[in-house]
Amino acid sequence: MDKYPSKLLETAVNEFSKLPGIGRKSALRLVLHLLRQDSESVNFFGNSLIQLRNEIKHCKVCHNISDTEVCQICENPSRNHNVVCVVENIRDVMSVENTQHFNGLYHVLGGIISPMDGIGPSDIEIESLVHRIEKGEIIEVILALSTTMEGDTTNFYIYRKLKGLDVKITTLARGVSIGDELEYTDEITLGRSLDNRVPYESSIGK
């Protein structure tokens, strides 16, 4: 086990190494980098994380991360409020936004159905999506989940929940390869998949 000349240094390394993808050597590099910075910079860094954790909100409409009760996208009058793109998480919202091919709203599920991980339909924001559709303003729902088994399962569950409602249900064209996570799909491919989206029924051969 590594020996550190300072208990404070060891504690900081331990905390950094809890972050995903950060091993102890990388954690030590990060901590030593911070020690080389002036106090004001390090205080700002630390306070920004504390403020983020204490003050961040989730939009009460779409569940996207937001600084306010309703996010900037949902509040924007220039967005198309008749079309909703259903995604798994905030990273997927960012991926779709980066394509500049979509001007509608979003619905962030906060996960996908995964029995192996103990995540069922009631653990993600599906019912709130149904309630949004039932209000009647939305005319199209784009299912834009990753093309994994879990993503396809979630898409199909949502389709079954919305099938009886007066709404068009579409999905991304298969420019996104089977098994791909949406956030790792390049912007051009994702943009084309959005533009060329197809009725969900045709994607399942029905």
Domain residue limits, the chain: 7-55, 61-203
Confidence (pLDDT) at 70: 97
The residue among 182, 181, 198 whose CA lies nearest residue 190 is 182
Confidence (pLDDT) at 147: 80
How is residue 119 annotated by DSSP?
Answer: B
Confidence (pLDDT) at 173: 79
Confidence (pLDDT) at 178: 39
CA 75 to CA 35: how far, in whole Å? 41
Confidence (pLDDT) at 175: 55
SS3 call for 40 = helix
Q: How far is CA 9 from the centre of its chain?
A: 34
Instruction: Give first-to-last CA distance, the chain, whole Å.
Output: 58
Confidence (pLDDT) at 160: 93
Q: Does domain 7-55 have CATH number 3.100.10.10?
A: no
State the architecture of 61-203 in CATH terms.
3-Layer(aba) Sandwich (3.40)
Tens of pLDDT along the chain (206 residues) come to: 678 889 999 999 999 999 999 999 999 999 999 999 999 999 999 999 999 999 999 999 999 999 999 999 999 999 999 999 999 999 999 989 998 889 999 999 999 999 888 999 999 999 999 999 999 899 999 999 988 889 999 999 999 999 989 999 999 876 554 345 666 567 777 888 888 888 888 777 54
Q: How far is CA 117 from CA 123, 127, 180, 191, in A?
A: 11, 20, 19, 30
CA 96 to CA 187: how far, in whole Å? 8
Amino acid in position 104:
G
